[in-house]
Amino acid sequence: MQENKEFDLEKLQTWMQVVISHAGGIEAGIASEEAQREFEIAPDSLERIICRSNNLTSTERLGIYGNAYFARLLECLRESFPALAYALGDELFDEFSLEYLQRYPSQSYSLCELGGHFASHLQETRPDAEQRASGEIDWPDFLIDLATLEWNIEQVFDGPGTEGIPSLAIEQIEAVPPEQWSQMILRPGPSLRILEFQFPVNDYYTEFRQENKPEMPAPRPQYIALNRREYVVRRLEIEPLEYRLLERILCGNSLGDVIQRVAAEAEVPLEQFAELLQQWFQKWTTAQFFSSISSPQAETSID
């Protein structure tokens, strides 16, 4: 095999990637500093690198890849965040997405990872704090909440689940001997996620899916538990106190510790709290939030 000493594949690929992924288009890409570092070339000299065809110039041919780059990734983001795309409208969603793709270009072999930083990107690029403090604008929080919800739904859908494995039944909780109760630890199913929002984005998402064309809602805290049963993502609104309990349970704290801390913080009479707990355990087991209950000290597991 002959070797062409002049040829540098890495240089060519770096240049081509810069050019076709330039937000300003192919010609701006060719003229960009990054591309010029690889090849000092004017757009009208492109034939030194890319041949023309009978019908198209070199620039037009390279432009096919440039057009496809953003169009493909925008389509993927629209599929990942359909409610957010609706809330923003096509033009604004595309604008936000273009910014996002330049800041967080894909580094994964999978398109399923593409939207992983979208909510944090919205957080990082939100309008300044002064406007927020004065209450002039609140829509950034709504958008961030909505992006967070949609991303988590996607992760729960194709992440780990407990299909085919029995979940914890209320009878198993009731069977725990009273003297062991406070040391017991609830083990969540792998798909369980709890989310805290400043806006009722779960309601908005439901309205959107029912094609009811929802308007941006007024702010109201909303707490949501997501998990998956039979391969379908389930959304369940939970109460603020329930959220605090689940938050501590998911950290692996014992039930005694969780209940003591949350009851103290909530300033709820113990009797009332016990009643609420009973309702929630019933609700959580019906929703299949947990896989087992165990006592690390006694090394017993009731699952």
Partner 1 sequence: MVEPRLGHPNLGLGVGLRTVHFPYILEKHPPVDWFEIISENFIDSQGRPRHTLDQIAERYPIVMHGVSLSIGSTDPLDFQYLEKLKKLAGETDARWVSDHLCWTGVAGRNTHDLLPVPLNEDTLRHVCSRIETVQDYLQRPLVLENPSSYVTFAESTMSEWEFLTAMTEATECGLLLDVNNVYVSSVNHDFDPYEYLGHIPYDRVVQCHLAGHTHCGTHLIDTHDGKVIDPVWQLYREVHRGTGGISTLLEWDAQIPPFEVVHAEVLKAKLYMEENLPSDGPQTQGESTGEAVLPHPLHFVAPEVQ
Residues that bind partner 1 (CB under 8 A): 1-4, 7, 9-10, 12-14, 16-17, 20-21, 47-51, 53-56, 58, 60-62, 64-65, 67-69, 71-73, 75-76, 79-80, 105-112, 153-154, 156-161, 163, 209, 228, 231-235
| Shortest distance (Å) from residue 69 CB to partner 1 | 6
Q: Which is nearer to partner 1, 65 or 280 (CB)?
A: 65
CB 26 within 8 Å of CB 20: yes
Q: Which two tokens stand for residue 95?
A: 């604008």
Rounded distance between C-alpha atoms, residue 241 and residue 248, angstroms: 11
Rounded distance between C-alpha atoms, residue 99 and residue 111, angstroms: 17
| Shortest distance (Å) from residue 83 CB to partner 1 | 11
Q: Which is nearer to partner 1, 138 or 154 (CB)?
A: 154
Q: How many CB atoms lie within 10 A of CB 295?
A: 19
CA distances for 160 relative to 110, 165, 191, angstroms? 17, 12, 6
Q: Which is nearer to partner 1, 16 or 144 (CB)?
A: 16
| Shortest distance (Å) from residue 1 CB to partner 1 | 4
Report which of 254, 246, 244 is spatially closest to residue 294, judged by C-alpha positions. 254
Q: Which is nearer to partner 1, 154 or 247 (CB)?
A: 154
Q: Which is nearer to partner 1, 151 or 199 (CB)?
A: 151
| Shortest distance (Å) from residue 261 CB to partner 1 | 32
Q: Which residue has the tokens 């009479």?
A: 269
| Shortest distance (Å) from residue 151 CB to partner 1 | 10
Q: Which residue has the tokens 């019906």?
A: 286
